[in-house]
Chains A and B, each alone.
Chain A
Amino acid sequence: MNHYETIYIADPTLDDDPLKETIDKFSDLIKKLKGFIVKVDEWGKRKLAYEVKRFDKGYYVVLDFYALPETVTELERNLKLDDQILKYITVKIDENVDPKDLVSKEKEIEDTTEESHNEHLEEK
C-alpha cells in the first residue's frame, strides 16, 4: 500500500448539494476499493492561474489517502470521466506502507485526541 495525495478541481458553478455529492462520490470510491482516507481537505473556490475549460475559478479538493496502485488508476479513470472535474493530479508521497501499521497509527491518533479531550474536561 502507498500513501497518495490527489488534488482535483471541481466546477465552481456547482451548488452546495451536487458539489457535496461529487466529493463524497470519490471519497466513497476509495473506501470501497479498500483504501484508507486520512483527510479530505476542501480549499474552496480559488482563482486558477490559467483558464481551464473556460473557467477562471475552480473548487479545489485535496484527498490524502492510503491505497493500492490499482485504486488510484480506478480513481483517476473516474475523475477523467466526470464532466464536473476540470483537472486532477495524484502524487505518491510514501511507498510500501503496511496496512497493519496504519490501523495502529489511527488508534494512536484516536487515543491521543481522546486523552487531550479528557484533559480539557478535567481542567474545566
Chain B
Amino acid sequence: MAYNDTFSHERKRVFIKHKICRFCADSSLKIDYKDSKNLAAFTTERGKIIPRRISGNCAKHQRVLAVAIKRARNIALLPFTTAKIKTKEHREP
C-alpha cells in the first residue's frame, strides 16, 4: 500500500478532484454570468478557467460555465489575467 499512500499524498497536494458534477447533483445551482462570486470558484488565482478534469463538471455544464465566465470577463466582473498587479508595482516604485 506504500505506492497508494505516496500517490494519494501527491494528489492531495496538487488538487482535490471532484467526481460528480455539482450542477447535475444540485439542480438548484444555476450558472449565471452576473454571479461573479460563484464563477470565481471555477477559476484559478491567475484567472484561468479550471479544467473539467479537475473541477469534475460534466461536459454540458462546463460549456455553459465557460461561456458565463467569458461574459463576466467582458464586463469586468472577472479578470482576464492578474498580471496587472505586477505591472503596477513596476510602474510605481
Taking residues whose C-beta sits less than 8 angstroms from the other chain, chain A's interface range is 10 to 19
Note all chain B residues with C-beta closer than 8 A to A52: 76
List 4 additional contacts besides A9-B76, A48-B76, A49-B79; criterion CB under 8 Å: A7-B34, A60-B75, A88-B75, A89-B75
Look across to chain A and name the residue whose beta carbon is closest to the beta carbon of B36: A49
Assuming the A-B contacts A50-B84, A91-B71, are A62 and B34 also in contact, with contact meaning beta carbons closer than 8 angstroms in the complex? Answer: yes
Provide the main secondary structure of the chain A interface.
strand
Provide the main secondary structure of the chain B interface.
loop
For B, the interface residue count at a CB cutoff of 8 angstroms equals 13
| Cβ A49 vs Cβ B73 within 8 A | yes
Closest chain B CB from A86 CB (angstroms): 8
Residues of chain B at the chain A interface (Cβ within 8 Å): 33-34, 36, 71, 73-80, 84
Look across to chain B and name the residue whose beta carbon is closest to the beta carbon of A58: B76
| Cβ A50 vs Cβ B71 within 8 A | no
